[in-house]
Amino acid sequence: MLLTKKLIHSLCLLNSYLLPIKTRLLVAKNFKKAMNLPKPRKLTSDVIGALAVGLAAMLFAAKGVFAKELYELGVSVEALVTIRASLALPMFWAFAVRHEGLSLILMTPKRAICAAAAVGVLCYYAGALLDFIALTLIKASIERVLIFSYPAIVVLLTSVRDRQWPNNRVLMAIVLTYLGIFFSIGGFDSAEMRANLYGASLVICSAVTYAIYFLVSEKYTRQIGSSRFTLFAMSSAAAALIPHYLIHHSILEITEISAKAWLLLIGISVVCMFLPALLQAEGVRRIGAQRGAVISTIGPPTTVVLAALLLGEQLSIWQIGGVTLIVIGIFVLDLARNAK
């Protein structure tokens, strides 16, 4: 009897080893379902999305550091902005053609193309020139945090357009943001305020152009998508920047740019413009605009750290407080806007 039991047990073990692979996989799959094991796919997608948004914010934040180094190498503002746009434009076209197809791009409604072109000239031509001129006058860390205040301008413009007073939470965020701007450009230090006022004014004007770009793109990206909208905006900006450069500078200036400067120009075009734009779009697609906006607040502190380490910039206590208030204000503002 004992021998029979052992024989049956041995046959069962042998049979389990001889089961077809598909059968064993099916058993394992059903066992996992029965145990209700969590699927890691969603978690992985969220982590990738968060990393993409965070990396995009940090890459955008490096723009001022690149610009300051290029100015030291003798590259003019107009040359920097024009070459940056010209180098990035083919990459945006290649990406759009690959993912949307040339036929779909050519079928874009004319109204959407005109809207994208108009705000592209406003933001990536006029706004970019103002921003990069400001970087010759103020610290890179201050420039970045002032540009980062554009969501507050979006809210103000939206309130005027819709004739609707913002709620208390939004008003508190706006007050914090503009109080932060006041302290960032010097606060109660009159000498610091005078030194930064003009440059800061240029950056805030640039932030206004970005806010207008955001409001227009919000409408048309629902119709044609962000890829095509950005493509037409960048194309129109490049079309405006190239003649602007040729009017104010000799083409020979480009031939005098050093090899090191060209590497930095390629870097600012790819690392601080093209790649972060793609990473931000992909990250927001995975985790949503609200969480993306919160994670992107890592941008201004990143610029402060990079500027301190690479450029030797030092911020006063008032300016550090101002940077903190702006980041908190935009954080609260994004939460309030997405909670609607």
Q: Is residue 333 part of a domain?
A: yes
**340 vs 338: CA distance, rounded Å:** 5
* Rounded alpha-carbon distances, angstroms, from residue 66 to 60, 259, 315: 11, 15, 19
Domain contains 22: no
pLDDT value, residue 259: 95
Is residue 266 assigned to a domain? yes
Contact 78, 186 (CB under 8 A): no
Question: What's the pLDDT at 34?
Answer: 41
Q: 1 lies in a domain?
A: no
Report CA Rg, the chain.
26
Written as six digits, the tokens of 317 are: 């206590």
Give domain status of residue 31, yes or no: no
306 domain-assigned: yes
Of 125, 261, 139, 327, the C-alpha closest to 206 is: 125
Q: Which domain holds residue 79?
A: 49-338
How many domains in the chain?
A: 1
Q: How many Cβ atoms sit within 10 Å of the Cβ of residue 65?
A: 24
User: Per residue of the chain (340 residues), what is the pLDDT tens digit?
Assistant: 443 444 344 445 444 544 444 444 444 454 344 444 445 455 587 788 888 888 888 888 899 999 999 999 999 999 999 999 999 999 999 999 988 889 999 999 999 999 999 999 999 999 999 999 999 999 888 888 888 787 778 778 888 887 888 778 778 887 888 888 888 877 777 777 788 889 999 999 999 998 888 888 878 887 888 888 889 999 999 999 999 999 988 888 898 999 999 999 999 999 998 998 888 777 766 776 556 666 777 777 888 888 888 888 887 788 888 888 888 887 777 666 655 5
pTM of the entire predicted model: 0.78
User: Within its chain, how far is the Cα of 29 from the centroid?
Assistant: 41
Q: What gap in Å lies between CA 143 and CA 204, rounded to an integer?
A: 9
| Residue 24 falls inside a structural domain | no
Structure token pair of residue 300: 């201004």
The answer as to whether 36 is a domain residue is no
Q: Give residue 294's pLDDT.
A: 66
Which residue is associated with the tokens 């193309």?
113
